[in-house]
């Protein structure tokens, strides 16, 4: 007797931020055609040729830095970790608007620092909490604020006015502003304001950057720690030296990326915007569902008529299918630090093409009709 096959469904993954957009072939070619005799360590701050090219890239997005103000890192992740470790002592506090990118928790644990969340709300699209919320959260132990713009997981694009509010807070309380701009290119309306565009706060601002999403190059593991604060650069260099060097091959890829045509992002942005429009329209058309229109990145958070997003997402995978498919979503509970929040919310990453997104939304619509709180 043949063994009974477990029924397999196609799962439509909207749960993680792995872009499906092709990595530009020309930048992969640059790596393929490199001809080392020895694959050496690079300079601990990254190849000078790459840092010089990065200066050109940053100039194009209105950020004026020198090669000496850039330390190339192993992904944006290492830039964040370096920032936490260099700017804070064990027991210090960092304020982060929640919901936030869940890995900040891991970096905080590694650096021995405490995350103090201030809650943003789906009702106003996850706008920056009011200045009073920051004031209430600040203690003598507070050393920094993290702002992820455009935001993962909310997709919220912070306005110039909101960035100016943050400037006021960091100046008044002498804090660092850690700006995670992993999704800088992906905004669909209005303008993007970098923390590096703020005037007069050079010693406060730390940019945590990455090529992962910009060029669909997550596996390259290349990021950058950028600041004009010389003392901070010197201490981060010690961490950079202790881990020897960032990846050599992917620095070649990163360097080649800066020669992509200026209109490179137009197609990618248009594709993400199309997907965003579909997902937001489809979600809001479902009874009891609310999804604010995210201004950037490739994420949306939706409020669903459910009791517990963890249970619901598990049920989707284990017990539900429609047209031989199911949808994978991320429960929003994992992005909140305050216990109990996010139970009715899920994050959707629009990293599938329009047809697959429609199929995923068909699944979700049917699932919400069938799901009974248990
Ligand atoms: C907001 C944010 N910061 C940092 C990272 C990590 O980037 P990297 O792949 O460069 O380590 C991610 C990855 O998803 C992210 O979404």
pLDDT by residue, tens only, the chain of 374 residues: 455 555 567 999 999 999 999 999 999 999 999 998 999 999 999 999 999 999 999 999 999 999 999 999 999 999 999 999 999 999 999 999 999 999 999 999 999 999 999 999 999 999 999 999 999 999 999 999 999 999 999 999 999 999 999 999 999 999 999 999 999 999 999 999 999 999 999 999 999 999 999 999 999 999 999 999 999 999 999 999 999 999 999 999 999 999 999 999 999 999 999 999 999 999 999 999 999 999 999 999 999 999 999 999 999 999 999 999 999 999 999 999 999 999 999 999 999 999 999 999 999 999 999 998 65
Q: How far is the CA of 79 from the centre of ligand 1 (A)?
A: 10
Check pocket membership of 76 for ligand 1, CB cut-off 6 A: yes
> Which residue's alpha carbon is nearest to atom 13 within ligand 1?
17
* Residue ranges covered by each domain of the chain: 10-21+264-370, 25-257
CATH number for domain 10-21+264-370, candidates 3.40.350.10, 3.30.565.10, 3.90.1150.10, 3.90.1150.220: 3.90.1150.10
Q: Find out whether the beta carbon of 101 lies less than 6 Å from any atom of ligand 1.
A: yes
Determine which helix (DSSP H) or strand (DSSP E) holds 186, and give its type and residue range: none
Distance of CA 216 from the midpoint of ligand 1 (Å): 12
Ligand 1 touching residue 155 (CB < 6 A) = no
Q: How many whole angstroms from 301 Cα to the centroid of ligand 1?
A: 18
Three-state DSSP state, 11: strand
Query: What pLDDT score was predicted for residue 373?
Result: 67
Give me the sheet containing 205-210, strands edge to edge.
70-73, 223-227, 205-210, 176-180, 142-148, 93-98, 114-119
Nearest residue by C-alpha to atom 14 in ligand 1? 17
Residue 98 Cβ contacting ligand 1 at under 6 Å: no
C-alpha 76 to ligand 1 mean position (Å): 6
**What pLDDT sits at residue 1?**
45
Pairing mode of beta strands 114-119, 93-98: parallel
Q: Compute, in degrees rounded to 10, the torsion defined by CA atoms 365, 368, 370, 373.
A: 170
> Topology of 25-257 in CATH?
3.40.640
Q: State the Cα torsion 213-214-215-220 to the nearest 10°.
A: -60
Q: What integer pLDDT is reported at residue 311 of this predicted model?
A: 97
> How confident is the model at residue 372, as a pLDDT?
83
How many angstroms separate the CA atoms of 142 and 138, rounded? 6
Alpha carbon distance 321, 315 (integer Å): 10
Ligand 1 mutation pick, 96, 102, 103, max ligand atoms within 8 A of CB = 103
């Amino acid at each position: 007797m043949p063994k009974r096959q477990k029924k397999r469904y196609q799962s439509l993954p909207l749960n993680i931020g792995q872009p499906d957009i092709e990595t530009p072939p020309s930048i992969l070619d640059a790596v393929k055609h490199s001809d080392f005799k020895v694959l050496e360590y690079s300079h601990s701050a990254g190849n000078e040729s790459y840092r010089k090219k990065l200066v050109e890239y940053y100039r194009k997005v209105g950020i004026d830095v020198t090669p000496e103000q850039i330390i190339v890192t192993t992904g944006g992740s290492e830039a964040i970790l370096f920032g936490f470790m260099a700017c804070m002592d064990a027991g210090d506090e960092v304020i982060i608007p929640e919901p936030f990118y869940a890995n900040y928790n891991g970096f905080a644990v590694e650096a021995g620092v405490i995350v103090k969340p201030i809650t943003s709300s789906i009702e106003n699209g996850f706008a920056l909490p009011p200045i009073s919320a920051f004031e209430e959260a600040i203690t003598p132990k507070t050393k920094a604020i993290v702002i992820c713009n455009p935001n993962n997981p909310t997709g919220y694009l912070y306005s110039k006015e909101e960035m100016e509010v943050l400037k006021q807070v960091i100046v008044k309380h002498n804090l660092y502003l850690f700006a995670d701009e992993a999704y800088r290119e992906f905004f669909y309306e209005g303008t993007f304001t970098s923390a590096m565009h703020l005037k007069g706060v050079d010693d406060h601002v730390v940019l945590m950057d990455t090529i992962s999403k910009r060029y669909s190059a997550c596996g390259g593991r290349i990021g950058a720690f950028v600041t004009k604060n010389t003392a901070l650069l010197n201490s981060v260099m010690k961490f950079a030296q202790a881990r020897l060097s960032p990846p050599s091959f992917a620095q070649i890829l990163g360097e080649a990326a800066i020669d992509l045509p200026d209109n490179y992002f137009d197609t990618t942005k248009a594709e993400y915007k199309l997907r965003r429009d579909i997902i937001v329209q489809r979600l809001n058309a479902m009874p009891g569902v609310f999804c604010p229109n995210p201004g950037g990145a490739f994420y949306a958070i939706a409020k669903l008529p459910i009791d517990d997003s963890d249970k619901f997402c598990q049920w989707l995978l284990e017990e539900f299918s429609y047209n031989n498919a199911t949808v994978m979503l991320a429960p929003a509970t994992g992005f909140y630090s305050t216990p109990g929040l996010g139970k009715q919310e899920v994050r959707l990453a629009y990293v599938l093409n329009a047809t697959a997104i429609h199929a995923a939304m068909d699944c979700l619509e049917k699932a919400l009709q069938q799901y009974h709180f248990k």
